[in-house]
Amino acid sequence: MKTDIKKALVLLKSLIFHYHGLDQDEKKILEKYVNEIDAWEEYEWASDFIALDYLSAFERSKEFLGKVFNAMPEEKRLEYLLDTWESNHLKGYVTEMETTAMINLAKDWSIEKMFLTKINQS
């Protein structure tokens, strides 16, 4: 997997998990994923990106994420966003703000209808 894709995937999950502050359960889920895709350098990069300015991290990330994800076929964009949705469910809940953030990304990536259909089925 290319580095920019790993960065985007780790940043995406990190942003959603950091939405209300990264707790221990979220950190474990995130680090397990990072280990699975061998993306420790990308995880460090994403952590630094978020730490630079936590409050603006989501907005600052949109350009980078859009560039990477919009270069992929719709099916891949949907797959990666649904994977983030499922990872978020591993902690036992998904907040309204996290859901809204993922829906906004789906809209930015032109997969909103497909994403909403899938999450409504789950």
Dump pLDDT digits (tens) for 31-72. 999 999 999 999 999 999 999 998 899 999 999 999 999 999
Rounded CA separation 26/87 (Å): 9
Q: Give the mean pLDDT of 82-102.
A: 93
- Quote the longest CA-to-CA distance of the chain: 37
| Whole-prediction pTM | 0.94
